[in-house]
Amino acid sequence: MEFDWLDAPFDLKRLPPREIEESFEDPFSIRLLPDLPHAVEARYFNLGKTTGDRALFSVFWTDGKRYRVLLSRPMTPEEANFYERKNAEYHLG
């Protein structure tokens, strides 16, 4: 997957692109499409962890080849709980 970091709409010094990319590569990451019936361009959510176990929440757009991250930040406790719960459900089958 290729990321477009040109003119990122948030501070890449606070959250390096490498860590954001790692959260997308997390084999247990969760990607969600919000239910917006009139959206012109679909925005997706990604909840994933870095190799250093940092839990990140990102909003992104993709054309199937490139990813454009619009926002990325540490997960809230509620988001981290959702991530852990969904992964536990998946692993318990």
How confident is the model at residue 40, as a pLDDT?
A: 67
Question: What is d(CA 84, CA 82) in angstroms, rounded to the nearest whole number?
Answer: 6
- Count of domains forming the chain: 1
How confident is the model at residue 72, as a pLDDT?
A: 97
Question: What is d(CA 66, CA 90) in angstroms, rounded to the nearest whole number?
Answer: 28
Name the pLDDT band for 70 (thresholds 50, 70, 90).
Answer: very high
How confident is the model at residue 92, as a pLDDT?
A: 74
| Domain interval for residue 75 | 2-92
How confident is the model at residue 73, as a pLDDT?
A: 97
Interval 22-69: pLDDT, tens? 999 999 999 998 776 666 678 999 999 999 999 999 999 998 899 999
How confident is the model at residue 88, as a pLDDT?
A: 93
How confident is the model at residue 93, as a pLDDT?
A: 62
